[in-house]
Amino acid sequence: MNYAEVAVNSPGSRSTFSYAIPPGLNVDVGQAVWVPFGSRVIQGIVLQLSDEPSVEETKEIAGIVADSVLLSPIQTQLAQWISGYYFAPPFDALALMLPPGFERRAITYFQPTDSQVDLPLTPEQSQVLRVVREKRKASLPELEKVIGEREAKQITDQLLAFQLITKTLEAEKPKIMPKVVPYVRLIAGKGEIEPAKARLDKSRAYRQAQLLEFLTGRPQPVSIGELRKRLNCSLTTIKALESRHLVSVERLRIRRDPLSHLSLTTSPPPVLTPSQQVAWESIQEVIVKKARQPSKLPVFLLFGVTGSGKTEIYLQALAQVIAAGKRGICLIPEIALTQQTVERFAGRFPGRVAVLHSGLSLGEQFDEWQWIMSGNCDVVIGPRSALFAPLPDLGLIIIDEEHEWTYKQEDKSPRYHARDVAVKLAQLSGAIVVLASATPDIGSFHRAEQGEYQLVELKERITPRGYSPLPEVSVVDLREELKAGNTSLFSRSLLAAMKGTLAQGEQIVLFLNRRGTATFVRCRNCGFVFRCPRCSIALTYHSTEKRLICHRCRYSIPVSPSCPRCSRPCLRLLGIGTQRVEEETRHFFPGARLLRWDRDAITKRYTHEEVLTSFRDHKADVLIGTQMIAKGLDLPQVTLAGIINADTGLNFPDFRSSERTFQLLCQVAGRAGRGIKAGKVIIQTYSPDNYIIEAAAKHDYLGFYCKEIDYRRQYNYPPFSQLIRLVYSHADEESGHREAERVHRLVLGEKAKKGMIDFNVIGPVPTFAFRARGRYRWQLFLRGSDLTRMLSRLTLPRGWTIDVDPVGMV
Distance CA 646, CA 516 (A): 12
Contact of residue 272 among Zn ion, ligand ADP, none (CB under 5-8 Å per partner type): ligand ADP
Kindly tell me which of 464 and 500 has the beta carbon lying closer to ligand ADP.
464
- Please tell me whether residue 557 binds Zn ion under the rule CB under 5 A: no
Kindly tell me which of 398 and 809 has the beta carbon lying closer to ligand ADP.
398
3-state secondary structure of 515: coil
Kindly tell me which of 311 and 491 has the beta carbon lying closer to ligand ADP.
311
Sites for Zn ion among residues 522-551 (CB under 5 A): 532, 534-535, 550
Distance CA 801, CA 84 (A): 15
Contact of residue 308 among ligand ADP, Zn ion, none (CB under 5-8 Å per partner type): ligand ADP
Secondary structure element (H or E) that encloses residue 727, with its range:
strand 722-730
- Please tell me whether residue 455 binds Zn ion under the rule CB under 5 A: no
Distance CA 648, CA 579 (A): 17
Contact of residue 534 among ligand ADP, Zn ion, none (CB under 5-8 Å per partner type): Zn ion
Indicate the DSSP class of residue 575.
-
- Please tell me whether residue 631 binds ligand ADP under the rule CB under 6 A: no
Length of the chain: 810
Q: Which of 349, 371, 405, 555 binds Zn ion (CB under 5 A)?
A: 555
3-state secondary structure of 142: helix
Secondary structure element (H or E) that encloses residue 205, with its range:
none
Q: How many positions of this chain bind ligand ADP (CB under 6 A)?
A: 14
Contact of residue 291 among Zn ion, ligand ADP, none (CB under 5-8 Å per partner type): none
Contact of residue 550 among Zn ion, ligand ADP, none (CB under 5-8 Å per partner type): Zn ion
Distance CA 504, CA 482 (A): 29
Least spacing, CB of residue 528 vs Zn ion, in Å:
17
Query: What's the N-to-C CA distance of the chain in angstroms?
Result: 49
Least spacing, CB of residue 409 vs ligand ADP, in Å:
25
Kindly tell me which of 139 and 275 has the beta carbon lying closer to ligand ADP.
275
Indicate the DSSP class of residue 648.
G
Rounded to 5 degrees, φ, ψ at 407 are -75, -10
- Please tell me whether residue 270 binds ligand ADP under the rule CB under 6 A: yes
Distance CA 157, CA 164 (A): 10
3-state secondary structure of 2: coil
Distance CA 723, CA 805 (A): 5
Q: 242-246 — which CB contacts under 8 Å span 24+ positions? A: 244/196, 244/208, 245/187, 245/188, 246/186, 246/187, 246/188, 246/192, 246/193, 246/196, 246/212
- Per-residue contact flags (x/-) with ligand ADP for residues 412 to 451, judged by CB under 6 A: ----------------------------------------
Least spacing, CB of residue 667 vs ligand ADP, in Å:
11
Q: Are 305 and 461 in contact (CB under 8 A)?
A: yes
- Please tell me whether residue 311 binds ligand ADP under the rule CB under 6 A: yes
Contact of residue 306 among Zn ion, ligand ADP, none (CB under 5-8 Å per partner type): ligand ADP
Q: Which of 272, 286, 535, 796 binds ligand ADP (CB under 6 A)?
A: 272
Least spacing, CB of residue 540 vs Zn ion, in Å:
10
- Please tell me whether residue 663 binds ligand ADP under the rule CB under 6 A: no
Least spacing, CB of residue 358 vs ligand ADP, in Å:
25
- Per-residue contact flags (x/-) with ligand ADP for residues 290 to 309, judged by CB under 6 A: --------------x-xxxx
Least spacing, CB of residue 740 vs Zn ion, in Å:
17
Least spacing, CB of residue 270 vs ligand ADP, in Å:
4
- Measured at the CA of 558, the angle between CA 556 and CA 561, to 5 degrees, comes to 145
* Core vs surface per residue 420-449: b (16+ CB within 10 A) or e: bbbbbbbebbebbbbbbbbbbbbbbbbbbe
Q: Which of 41, 360, 456, 462 binds ligand ADP (CB under 6 A)?
A: 462
Distance CA 472, CA 673 (A): 9
Q: Are 398 and 436 in contact (CB under 8 A)?
A: yes
Indicate the DSSP class of residue 531.
B
Q: Are 724 and 804 in contact (CB under 8 A)?
A: yes
Secondary structure element (H or E) that encloses residue 745, with its range:
helix 733-754
Q: Which residues are registered as beta bridge partners of 20?
A: 3, 60
Contact of residue 553 among ligand ADP, Zn ion, none (CB under 5-8 Å per partner type): Zn ion
Least spacing, CB of residue 89 vs Zn ion, in Å:
35
Q: Which stretch binds ligand ADP (CB under 6 A): 269-277, 449-457, 573-581, 700-708?
A: 269-277
Q: Which stretch binds ligand ADP (CB under 6 A): 267-275, 729-737, 767-775, 794-802?
A: 267-275
Kindly tell me which of 75 and 311 has the beta carbon lying closer to ligand ADP.
311
Kindly tell me which of 40 and 534 has the beta carbon lying closer to Zn ion.
534
Kindly tell me which of 372 and 532 has the beta carbon lying closer to Zn ion.
532
Q: Are 311 and 345 in contact (CB under 8 A)?
A: no
Our measurement of the distance from residue 344's CA atom to the centroid of its chain's CA atoms, rounded to an integer in Å, reads 21
Contact of residue 754 among Zn ion, ligand ADP, none (CB under 5-8 Å per partner type): none
Distance CA 652, CA 541 (A): 11
Distance CA 80, CA 722 (A): 21
Indicate the DSSP class of residue 802.
E
Contact of residue 309 among Zn ion, ligand ADP, none (CB under 5-8 Å per partner type): ligand ADP
Q: Which of 430, 318, 439 is nearest to 379 (CA)?
A: 318
Indicate the DSSP class of residue 352.
-
Q: Which of 77, 125, 273, 729 binds ligand ADP (CB under 6 A)?
A: 273
Kindly tell me which of 306 and 639 has the beta carbon lying closer to ligand ADP.
306
Our measurement of the distance from residue 194's CA atom to the centroid of its chain's CA atoms, rounded to an integer in Å, reads 58
Contact of residue 506 among Zn ion, ligand ADP, none (CB under 5-8 Å per partner type): none
Contact of residue 525 among ligand ADP, Zn ion, none (CB under 5-8 Å per partner type): none
Least spacing, CB of residue 79 vs Zn ion, in Å:
40
Q: Which residues bind ligand ADP (CB under 6 A)?
A: 270-273, 276, 304, 306-312, 462
Q: Which residues bind Zn ion (CB under 5 A)?
A: 532, 534-535, 550, 552-553, 555
